[in-house]
Structure 1
């Protein structure tokens, strides 16, 4: 690879090898692909399948309130992340930011934690395939479909980043169309267009035990399910190292997150809680077999429609696994580049794809998927808990890094260079960190009542000591120190103010941007 000497001039105090390696990921993802990948990160297994478990364990009110609270946290977190990623668009994104602006040990622990998160997410999606397949048959070999999809994911991620982007684009487009149809159909079903011809309204909110099922334990447990569902929203910034013109594209993605959260998550949660009773067979905590989306289409009186939606959800699971494997492999590559993992994981193909990182991440996911013999429904619940807590730790870290980033920018007099500003600073990041910390501690309430369940306790809280152990271990071994504002790395991959053209304001411009968002 030829390296432009002026473009890659190394600022004083920077390691030459570090900067050159970091620039080797090819920026091939187009604006069209990045916009759709952003949607793919927010629509996946957690929404299509996890909402069923959340409804059964917490009830319709808990489902709606928890998804709204976590959605608000995610929106603030994305504003924080968009501000940093637009200014410093590097591979690894928020994991790299924690190392740059907080402490190298924090970045080490967070990156390994999130890499494992992505490996587990890929495995959870493969397990979800088994659950969705049971809508049609129980006789199909449990491992066959999962292995085929696993192989296809590896191929899509190892060939070329443009192949990954194009596959993700069309799979995400299919998901978006399905959710739009689901929302329209759910309104029709609620108003009487169902197999019984009866108006449903809010009847399911008044069932015995509803609208809050399981008391405080049931309510708290929905937070981890919601965190799993929203997980991946932040990983769009990991594509920054391979996105064309990231300083322009990432702020556009972030600005649309609010409407996508409101439309896809909040509205879907409301309609699911209205139409599907929490007592519906197959939604129990340990036996999540059917998606509420499939149930809603079946309620319209068409078995064929239910099968079609279940098939679409299968493709969404493939899309979510594809995105998780991409993000995980890039994080492993970042670990290698930063000296936090063996250098072999930094090897690239001639298309500049980290092939060793892709293979190793997929291998770990495959081994976790192989543990499905314990029972797909139960394993999926455990994996969902682990991923949900891992997502929350990442959101906490993004908030902390954002506060430190602004302190560094101010101390070094670079605030005028910010291409995109987080308008909630400093209240937004501080509240997001505090609320996320509280949620992490209380969401495992259900594993203590009515009796203590050791396995569930581990799935809720194993990430906390693991993260702390990695942080303390790396800090002691490498003797890292807290990043001071005046010493932070705010030079590498910075886009200057002159390179970023401001967007034209006014109602006409807003209408044009809204039309572009609706058409994706």
Structure 2
């Protein structure tokens, strides 16, 4: 496997036709994924790809159980964690743009057993997320009718996203682009409308201001248990933000595209999550009837439109939430299939998962992930609302474990760069290092431990307890089991692989100096 020598200038590296062809997405290499996702698609996927039921429906439950202050504080804390996590991840993904992203980094910079456990954990996370989105469709359809067979729409959407993921990565990217755009426009309209509603542009409430922060037990509801429970809802809502780096293996010019995407995450968090949480808490009382249910009838977005006097508000918001669920499921299936491909490529799963179509799509990984998700979806027979809550809890904790692992991998990655004298090669730097990753690790561990408080009080709930904490022993057992089986060793900083699949700083210089022509690549060598 050839690697770029960081000591050589671009003109010193042999520019064979083979090495140059490997940088272009239209050249077919049978053993790797195709770089076919454009900057336009990746940017929009990063902005809106993972916005789904966690924001549109989950915020209502969070407001009811924790109150407006808990909603705003918890979403802000988790948002800050996600932003710093994305800076750490973007730094690694821009330097090593591989399909497995942070899961590959965990094995490469910490321990192979660590990477094994994280990749399987996150793959299951994506399979569960896909199932959770299919389950949510049933809840959304109940807005219009209770007679429509719940399984029919779920199966139709499942077939749709499977086709989008198995035909060509560009089909996935284009579908995700337009669905994400619709969500972004809707949230912007919601925020503008919410400001008008709060100022008095509503039916029957007059000027609202901050009076709903003083109703009943507000602004904090349910004590420490109510406050802690909002963390898992927020983690579910933000979940998937980190999975944008998984597209690195199929993104055109990732060393330029990914840093832009990471920098935009801050504005996405501020605009879509924190401002939405603020306006929801200001305009809707925590004791609004039915707010604790997973229904578009009581979605904070629907309520805001109805307060403004829109008779068609419910149907409009429900339709948007419906498309957002399809979008989130589409993205989760994509990320899960690429991780299963990575597991096969890294020897953590059978090699059959690395089989590609003529368009270089890992079709076995796509079909396997989709089959697991449809099996989980079938559990809806037990009751969609309760199953959705369990799945949300599992995914939320899984997301937090992933953020902890990204922080640890980031610290080890920097240690390796320093030990090997390659820090100057970074095309993008995490300006919060080292305190950012350290604080994220500590805060995430704290949140993981306390967020299941509601399963202990007022009485112990065994099922809820399992959904909150099941991931922890499973994750640890997978690390220990793989380590004992394969006798893996902790990666020393001086021995880390910091050359395979790397963009060097010299490769980026023509771009940094302002060379024009996006189609011209001078000195960009992939090391596959």
TM-score range, shorter chain: over 0.9
Residues 156-235 of structure 1 aligned to structure 2 (within 5 Å):
156-196=164-204, 198-235=206-243
**1:120-174 deviations in whole A, cap 9, x for unaligned?**
0001111111112222222211111111101101000000000000000000000
Matches within 5 A, 1:249-288: 249-284=257-292
Distance 1:399 1:7 in 2: 34
Kept in 2, the 8 Å contact 1:135–1:290? The answer is no
2:425 to 395, 417, 426: 417
| Partner-residue secondary structure (3-state), 1:28 | coil
- Give the conservation status (yes or no) of the 8 Å contact 2:50–2:328: no
How far has the Cα of 1:313 moved from its partner?
A: 1.0
Instruction: Give the aligned partner of residue 347 of structure 2.
Output: 339
Shift of 1:503: 4.8
Q: Does 2:495 correspond to 1:487?
A: yes
Deviations 1:347-397 (A, max 9, x none): 000000000100110111101111011211111111000000000000000
> Is the alpha carbon distance of 1:70 and 1:290 closer, same or farther for their aligned partners in structure 2, counting shifts above 3 Å?
same
Secondary structure, aligned partner of 2:312: helix
Q: CA deviation at 1:6?
A: 4.0
For residues 381 and 400 of structure 2, the distance between their equivalents in structure 1, rounded to whole angstroms, comes to 28
CA contact (8 A) 1:235 1:327 kept: yes
Match of 1:443 in 2: 451
2:313 and 2:501 map into 1 onto residues whose CA distance is 49
Aligned ranges 1:294-305 → 2 under 5 Å: 294-305=302-313
Matched, 1:30 2:38: yes
Residue 152 of structure 2 is aligned to residue 144 of structure 1: yes
Q: Deviations over 1:448-468 (max 9, x none)?
A: 000000010001000001101
Aligned residue in 2 for 1:509:
none
TM-score, structure 1 as length reference: 0.92
8 Å Cα contact 2:353-2:365 kept in structure 1:
yes
Residues 22 and 54 of structure 1: is their aligned pair in 2 closer, same or farther, counting only changes over 3 Å? farther
Give the match's secondary structure for 1:212.
coil
1:323 correspondence with 2:358: no
Offset of 1:498 from its aligned partner?
A: 2.1
TM-score, reference length from structure 2: 0.91
Per-residue displacement from partner, 1:242-269 (whole Å, max 9, x unpaired)?
A: 0000000000001111111011100000
Q: What SS does the corresponding residue of 1:452 show, helix, strand or coil?
A: coil
C-alpha separation in 2, matches of 1:408 and 1:61: 42
Distance 1:8 1:336, change over 3 A: farther
Distance 1:184 1:500 in 2: 40
Q: Which residue of 2 aligns with 1:16?
A: none
1:382 is matched with which residue?
390
What displacement does 1:5 show? Answer: 5.0
Contact 1:27 1:241 in 2 (8 A): yes
- Is contact 1:282-1:288 (8 Å) kept? no
Q: 1:4 to 1:164 in 2, by over 3 A?
A: farther
Structure 1 residue 306 displacement after superposition: 2.4
Structure 2: distance between partners of 1:388 and 1:410: 34
Alignment partners' CA distance in 2, 1:272 and 1:225: 15
1:57 counterpart residue number: 65
What residue in structure 2 maps to residue 125 of structure 1?
133
Q: Distance in 2 between matches of 1:325 and 1:342?
A: 19
Query: Per-residue displacement from partner, 1:198-224 (whole Å, max 9, x unpaired)?
Result: 111112111111111110001001001
Structure 2: runs of 5+ lacking an equivalent: 1-15, 23-27, 515-528
RMSD of equivalent CA atoms: 1.8
- Name the structure 1 match of 2:486: 478
Offset at residue 290 of structure 1 (A): 3.3
Q: CA deviation at 1:93?
A: 0.1
Q: 1:26 to 1:465 in 2, by over 3 A?
A: same
Match of 1:362 in 2: 370
Is the Cα–Cα contact under 8 Å of residues 191 and 276 in structure 2 kept in the other structure?
Answer: yes
Distance of 2:294 and 2:476 partners within structure 1: 30
For residue 516 of structure 1, what is the aligned residue in structure 2? none
Aligned equivalent of 1:69: 77
1:86 aligns with 2:94: yes
Q: How far is 1:281 from its partner?
A: 2.2
How many equivalent residue pairs? 493
What CA distance in whole angstroms lies between the structure 1 residues aligned with 2:177 and 2:441? 32
5 Å-filtered alignment, 1:398-413, equals 398-413=406-421
Determine helix, strand or coil for the equivalent of 2:503: coil
Measure the CA separation in 2 of the matches of 1:366 and 1:67: 30
Q: How far is the alpha carbon of 1:23 from its aligned partner?
A: 6.0
Q: 1:449 to 1:22 in 2, by over 3 A?
A: farther
**Cα separation, 1, equivalents of 2:61 and 2:21:** 50
